[in-house]
Structure 1
Amino acid sequence: MPQVDEYVSVSEAKNKLLDLIRRMKHKQEVVAITRDGVPSAVLLSMDQFEGLMETIEILSDQKSMRALRRSLKLAEKGQWVSHDAVFGRENP
């Protein structure tokens, strides 16, 4: 997940909302919105949000995490499985 690119106050965010949304879409920026100088919310693109939610879903799935840990241990030992072995050969 990217770092926060900018901090803006709630009142500034209200005034610049359309510009902030455009930046989220085109530059994939992350903006923290502050209230009384304290970060209270985060504005990010829909793509970034969906990616974050998918990551949380994967991390919450115990079966997927066990498989990932097992795969990482095999990779550390230099034991790889070829793409063809997993997915089969593509026919041109």
Structure 2
Amino acid sequence: MSTQSLAAVKAHFSQVIDEVAGTHERVTVTRNGSPVAVILAVEDYESLVETLEILSDPRARSDIRQAEEAMAAGEVYGEVEVRAALAARRR
């Protein structure tokens, strides 16, 4: 993530947008030395919104917590086991 002044962003706005879209790096915009805005790619913004929606869902948080506990307890599956389970579901 880089930080640029508002004046610099205004002077090179198209270049900043191209950089953000191409690299998925965020740009923090400052005014008088203080951060006032962040520029990020739409794809990254949408991903953040989706993450917030998932983490706002108590059931999803519980499912994630249970999965993490299962992984920590060694309850993991390899590729062969996952493929077999998926194939069985398709039948």
- When the two structures are superposed, what TM-score results if normalisation uses the length of structure 2? 0.83
Name the structure 2 match of 1:9.
5
CA RMSD of aligned residues (A): 1.7
Once the two structures are TM-superposed, the CA of residue 80 in structure 1 deviates from its matched residue by 2.9
Once the two structures are TM-superposed, the CA of residue 78 in structure 1 deviates from its matched residue by 1.0
CA distance in 2, matches of 1:61, 1:16: 40
Q: 2:56 aligns with which of 55, 60, 82?
A: 60
Gap regions ≥5 residues in structure 2: none
Cα deviation code 1:14-52 (max 9, x no counterpart): 111100010011111211000110011001111111111
Q: Which runs of 4+ in 1 moved over 3 A?
A: none
Q: Percent identity?
A: 28
Gap regions ≥5 residues in structure 1: none
Q: 2:71 aligns with which of 58, 70, 75?
A: 75
Name the structure 2 match of 1:36.
32
Q: 1:19 aligns with which of 15, 20, 34?
A: 15
AA of the residue aligned to 1:56: L
